[in-house]
Amino acid sequence: MNPYVTAGYSAVLVTLAVYAAWLVIKSARLRRAILKAGSTEAGGRA
């Protein structure tokens, strides 16, 4: 395989995979934080 082709495809796939993973992790963390805040509020009210 041409090394430039390998480098080009790798750059695209790795960058997109890293960005996608960051998005998924960030989204999951925020969701957990919202759920935690919601349960704390509900506990406080009870």
Partner 1 sequence: MTTTLVRKAVGVTSLALVAATVVMGLFVTPPDVVQGNLARLLYVHPPVAWVAYLAYGVTSIASGLYLWRPTRSLKWDRIAVASAEVGVVFTGLTLVTGSIWGRPAWGVWWTWDARLTTTAILFVLYLGYLALRRIPLSPETRAKRSAVAALIAFIDVPIVHESVVWWRTLHQGATVATLGANTKVHGIMAWTLLLGFIAFTMVYIWMAMVRYRVETMSAEIEAHQLEAWEAERMAEADTSDAAIGRLLDPGTRAPDEVPTDQGVAPR
Query: How open is the CA angle 10-11-15, to the nearest 5 degrees?
Result: 110
35 near partner 1 (CB under 8 A): no
Nearest-angstrom CA–CA distance, 32 and 42: 15
Q: Which secondary structure element, helix H or strand E, spans residue 20, and what is its range?
A: helix 3-45
Residue from the set 1, 42, 45, 46 that interacts with partner 1 by CB under 8 A? 1
Q: Please report how close the Cβ of residue 24 comes to partner 1 at its closest, in angstroms.
A: 7
Interface residues with partner 1 (CB under 8 A)? 1-2, 4-5, 7-9, 11-13, 15-16, 19-20, 23-24, 26-27, 30-31, 33-34, 37
